Amino acid sequence: MNSLGDTIRKLREEKELPLRTVAAYLDIDQAILSKIERGYRKPVREQVVKLAKYFKVKENDLLVAWLSDKVVYEIEDEDMALKALQVAEEKVKYITKNKSKK
Amino acid sequence: MNSLGDTIRKLREEKELPLRTVAAYLDIDQAILSKIERGYRKPVREQVVKLAKYFKVKENDLLVAWLSDKVVYEIEDEDMALKALQVAEEKVKYITKNKSKK
DNA sequence: CTATTTTTGACTAAATATGTCAAAATATAA
DNA sequence: TTATATTTTGACATATTTAGTCAAAAATAG
């Protein structure tokens, strides 16, 4: 199950770049990037978008990983987590359906 | 698609209780309860638990509504919302599976 | 009308998220 | 080894978000 952090670390290591370089591009301290890659911090949306551009991968792929990480983080300690996700899916389907028609 | 707010309002109106009374039980200003019922504020977990007790409904049912509302709130503006939820489900399944065995 | 209840919005306080910095730990290479 | 580069850690500061109060305005019920 790869989290966004794992993905970023892999991309960075493939190119043999130090944290410093990528962190500079994101305009944050390398300490934060280190934590993001290991899952101790969540990046903000803008950083995810920048990373997709930087590593030339599909922005949507990273956004899905980022969003799902956030969702999991928010509910993982709850017994009803899975049930809640299923209900959330229905709600999202309902919302998008009624958004298209006016 | 009923949100938690709708549920609470219905329960409260069935018993013909003013906001004041229920809000006092929750130890918050009635203004907040008003906003919670209409979806302009999210209750905290503790309040959801108290409400279940107060109205004598299943705690888990309210928690599922509360959690799913929170999840939807977090992702609804994103194009990848549905996809993210599906990935999140897989991640949660994976986590709970590996939590049971040690 | 008059009472009661509900809603609104400006404001404050508390909590959480995001970031810096510098030192410690780890890995790399001479 | 020992020197150098990289990564990790944790204490701390700052910013943003969330949760709450309060009082007045609006809506509803008698």
In this structure, are residues A81 and B64 in contact, taking their beta carbons and an 8 Å threshold?
A: no
What pLDDT sits at residue B102? 41
Percent of residues, chain B, with pLDDT higher than 90: 91
- Write out the residues of chain A at the interface with chain B, using a CB-CB cutoff of 8 A: 1, 3, 60, 63-65, 67-72, 74-76, 78-96
What pLDDT sits at residue B59? 97
DSSP state of A70: H
For residue A47, CA distances in Å to A3, A10, B57 come to: 15, 17, 43
Determine whether the interchain pair B84/A76 forms a contact, defined as Cβ–Cβ distance below 8 Å.
Answer: no
The pTM is what?
A: 0.93
Residues B17-39 as b/e (b if ≥16 CB within 10 A, e otherwise) read eebeebbeebebeeebbeebbee
Q: Residue A83's closest CA among B85, B24, B5, B23?
A: B85
What pLDDT sits at residue A44? 97
DSSP A12-75: HHHTT--HHHHHHHHTS-HHHHHHHHTTSSPPPHHHHHHHHHHHT--HHHHHHHHHHHHHHHHH
In this structure, are residues A71 and B88 in contact, taking their beta carbons and an 8 Å threshold?
A: yes
**Residue B51: pLDDT above 90?**
yes
Query: pLDDT per residue over B54-91, tens digit each?
Result: 999 999 999 999 999 999 999 999 999 999 999 999 99
- Write out the residues of chain B at the interface with chain A, using a CB-CB cutoff of 8 A: 1, 3, 60, 63-65, 67-72, 74-76, 78-96
Query: pLDDT per residue over A17-75, tens digit each?
Result: 999 999 999 999 999 999 999 999 999 999 999 999 999 999 999 999 999 999 999 99
What pLDDT sits at residue A100? 67
Structure tokens at B93: 């399944």
Structure tokens at A96: 């998008």
By Cβ distance, the residue of A84, A86, A89 closest to B82 is: A89
Residues sharing a CB contact under 8 Å with residue A89, sequence separation 6 or more, in sequence order: B82, B85, B86, B89
User: Tokens 């219905």 correspond to what residue?
Assistant: B10
User: Tokens 């009624």 correspond to what residue?
Assistant: A98
Q: Give the start-end residues of each E strand in A52-96.
A: none
**Residue A102: pLDDT above 80?**
no
Q: Which nucleotides of C are covered by protein (CB under 7 A)?
A: 4-9, 17-22
What pLDDT sits at residue A2? 80
Q: Which residue of A has its CA nearest to B90?
A: A1
